Amino acid sequence: MSNRSINIVRVTKDDYDKVCAIIPPDEIYSGTDYLPDYFHMLLDMPNVEAYAAVVDGKFEFRSYITSVDQLKSILNTTGNMTPTSAKPIDESELANILTNQQVCCHLFPEGRVIVDWVPYRLIKSNASLIKTIRTTVIGSNLKNDTRILTFANYFNALAGLICNIEVYGRVGETLAEHIYLHLRELISKVITGKVIIRCFFQQETNSNFITSLMNRFGFDITEIWGTRLVCIETTPEIYFRESKL
C-alpha cells in the first residue's frame, strides 16, 4: 500500500504557476494547450470550479499559420468587402436564437450546440455561458433557409494564436463574410508565432469549399494536433499562417 499523501484541493488564481507546471505546455496538444491563457477567465466564470490532486505536497493532476503582417495585408486588400447579411450577434440575440424552435431545427438538428469544445443545451440561460469575453458570434440570413451561425474563440499558446471556429447552417458564399469578420477581430489582438484556425463544421458540409475559402484569406491547410475530436462529432480542418515576426 502506498504511503503517499493525496489531497484534492480547490484551485484558485494563486495556483496558476503550480497548475500550469503539472505538464509543460509544449508537451500538450503540440503546443496548443489553452489552459495557460484561459486559466483566469475560466476561474472568473460562474459555472466553473477547478480542482487539482496534490500528491505529497505537489500538484499532479488537473481537471475541468503566415506572418501577422501578411494576414493584415490580406484583410486590408479585402477591406472593400462590406458584409451585406453577416453581423455580430450579442448575448441577448443569441438567447433568442437558442429558444427559437424554427431556427434551431435548421442550425442545430442534433438538439445542442458545441462551442469551443463544450456542448450546450438549447436554452436561454446558456447564452451567457457561450458568449464569453473571448467569443465572437456572427449570424446571417437568420430568417430564411440559408441561415448561418458561426462562433469563434481564441487563445494564445506556445504554438501561436489559436482560433476555433464552429460553423452551423447552410454553408455558402455568405460564409466568406463570417470569416472576414472573425479575422478582423483576431488581428486586433497581440499575436506572436503562428495564427492557427481550427474550423469545425457539420459532416455534410463540403470541406473543399471551406478549404478554398480559407485559401482566399491566405491560409493553407496543415496537419497538426486536433484533426479528430470526439466531442465535436466531426472532423475539423486546420489552417495556419507562419509568423515572420
Give the pLDDT confidence of 29-76 residue by residue, as tens digits. 667 777 887 788 888 877 777 777 777 765 443 333 444 555 566 566
Strand partners, 169: 148
Domain boundaries, the chain: 1-57, 59-226
Residue 8 DSSP SS3:
strand
Residue 17 DSSP SS3:
helix
Residue 137: pLDDT over 90: yes
- What is the C-alpha separation between 96 and 127, in angstroms, rounded? 9
Residue 234: pLDDT over 50: no
Domain spanning 59-226: CATH superfamily: Gcn5-related N-acetyltransferase (GNAT) (3.40.630.30)
- What is the C-alpha separation between 203 and 235, in angstroms, rounded? 8
For the chain, the average pLDDT equals 76
